[in-house]
Amino acid sequence: MPALSSERLRVRNDARAIFDDLYARGFTDGLPVIPPTEEAVADMLEHCGLRPQDEIAVLPPANSVATAEKVAVNAVMAGCLPEYLPVVIAALQAMTAEGFCLLSVQTTTSPVAPVLVINGPIRERIALNTGRGCMGPGRRANATIGRAVRLALVNIGDCPPGEIDKAVHGMPGKFSFCFGEREEESPWEPLHVERGFAATQSTVTVYGGQGTQNILGMFRQPENILHVLADGMRSYGHNGYLRGSGTPLVVMSPGHARILGEHGWDKQRIRNELFERTRIRRSEIPAELQITRPVYADYGPDELCATCRTPSDIHIVVAGGPEPYHIAYIPSFSHVQAQTAAIAVKGERHEA
Amino acid sequence: MKPDPEFIDYLDPTMRRNRAAGPDAPVVPQEPALALPTLGALAGKTVVFLDNGWKSFGRMTHWMERTLRDRFGVAEVKRQYISSSTPMPASVLERVLAESDLAIVGMAN
């Protein structure tokens, strides 16, 4: 068993006493956790071939070096199986890439959560839900991977909600927000291939998401599906319009994707259409400036404000149940640009 | 700690250390604080406000600018707009370093 350096804390061996103790110390998200015993954490590290002292990422606002040991402690608490740990690690690494602006995500007043989208063969191996109800609740991998990330952000990044995390309302997705792309039912390239990874490489792509907005689009014509979707996305109350940047995410049902694909719509054509339809004239937005200076502050009345910088910044993935009824739109927070990281699974090798 | 079936030991998930220290705990030597110039040393110098665009920072620095000029003899006060959530471009940082003696950064609202 590898030597672990974390402080040992002792509590009466009773489920309620354990939860009371961990909760009182501020270690939880308010829900019961699994006690991270030395044996459980060591097992998880050994399963993944990691040493306790391996450095995973630097997590703000404390700028603490998250070691494999500390990440595993939080993953055990969250209820992760050992084989989930590489996904948690990759998510933390993606989130600490410069373009993600994790310090802002951690400390903002906005209701923003890391949204984890998993691609590649690991989805099947860990029984990740990519289909009906993929955003929850009900599936262990989805629920606990996202939760482990949250616990790591709070405990290692030292960002307790209500204190350093200044979110005005918070958001249920801050408990956990993780799903997989349903690559097998998509007419298009999966997200990770679009972003330059081999199809056989498992990846996690992380977004700074501000909840989900359901778009009911029970149409059969692509133009009408995109019309209702764009109308739902077109709200200058979303942070994206404030900065004119970010990476908004459209989660198409496989049914909608099939209709669009059958009519010859590829992702870029859809992005172009959505970008154009979601632009808003400056004159439709109050002349008074928001208290943080918007990017459109000096625009003329007919200049167009956009929810992101370019059409390519609108990301599209396919997930969920098969009916072409609902589309989930996940607006982006501020400048956050989605980041993708490879999931390193022990013994796996991939072509570059 | 010795195993005791009535109790369970678990690992601290945080990076916090020295959770409790008794009177005999060793004294940890502290690094000396970064030497900052006193306000009096700013006479004749140039100060730049790195303005993150929040109105609160604008109001606060309006008062600070007057104080720096009137009370402490600062020669010039500049403003540079910065993004509130992305790193400053290297070219802007270099210009700020070249053109000013002190930068005051707007961190948040």
In a mutational test of the B interface, the residue from A4, A5, A10 whose CB has the highest number of chain B CBs within 10 Å is A10
Record the tokens describing residue A105, joined without a space: 């995500």
CB atoms within 10 A of CB A116: 26
Chain A: residue nearest B81 by CA? Answer: A293
Q: Which of A13, A107, A151 sits opposite B6 (nearest CB)?
A: A13
User: In degrees, to the nearest 5, what angle opens at C-alpha A315 toward C-alphas A289 and A189?
Assistant: 170
Expressed in angstroms, the distance from the first to the final Cα of chain B is: 47
Please state the length of chain B.
Answer: 109
Record the tokens describing residue A326, joined without a space: 């609902």
- A-chain CB neighbours of B87 within 8 Å are 98
**Which of these, A332, A66, A106, lies nearest to A209 by C-alpha position?**
A332
What residues pair up with A329 in beta bridges, in sequence order? Answer: A213, A250
A319 close to A180: Cβ distance less than 8 angstroms: yes
Residue appearing with tokens 């927070």: A333
Per-residue pLDDT of chain A (352 residues; tens, 9 = 90+): 789 999 999 999 999 999 999 999 999 999 999 999 999 999 999 999 999 999 999 999 999 999 999 999 999 999 999 999 999 999 999 999 989 999 999 999 999 999 999 999 999 999 999 999 999 999 999 999 999 999 999 999 999 999 899 999 999 999 999 999 999 999 999 999 999 999 999 999 999 999 999 999 999 999 999 999 999 999 999 999 998 999 999 999 999 999 999 999 999 999 999 999 999 999 999 999 988 889 999 999 999 999 999 999 999 999 999 999 999 999 999 889 999 999 998 777 665 5
**Poorest-pLDDT segment among A71-80, A205-214, B22-31, B35-44:** B22-31
Report residue A145 CA to chain centroid gap. Answer: 11
What residues pair up with A180 in beta bridges, in sequence order? Answer: A118
How far CA A212 is from CA of A249, A314, A323, in Å, comes to 10, 15, 18
**Which of these, A134, A90, A167, lies nearest to A253 by C-alpha position?**
A134
With an 8 Å Cβ cutoff, are B84 and A104 in contact?
yes
Cβ neighbours of residue B42 under 8 Å, at least 6 residues apart? B68, B72, B73, B74, B101, B102
- B-chain CB neighbours of A155 within 8 Å are 13-15
pLDDT at B19 over 50: no
Q: Which of A11, A243, A293 sits opposite B10 (nearest CB)?
A: A11
Q: Which of A9, A70, A291 sits opposite B15 (nearest CB)?
A: A70
Q: How many CB pairs below 8 A link A and B?
A: 99
Min Cα distance A127 → chain B (Å) is 26
Chain A residues with CB under 8 Å of a chain B CB are 4, 6-13, 18, 22, 27, 35-38, 41, 62, 64, 69-70, 73-74, 77, 98-99, 101, 104, 107-109, 151, 155-156, 158, 243, 291-293, 334-336
Identify the three-state secondary structure at position A175: coil
Residues of chain A by 3-state class (helix, strand, coil), percent to 5: 35, 20, 45
Contact status of B7 with chain A (Cβ, < 8 Å)? yes
With an 8 Å Cβ cutoff, are A6 and B55 in contact?
no
Strands B76-81 and B46-51, sheet pairing:
parallel
Task: Write down the ipTM of this complex.
Answer: 0.91
- B-chain CB neighbours of A77 within 8 Å are 13
Residue appearing with tokens 């405990």: A155
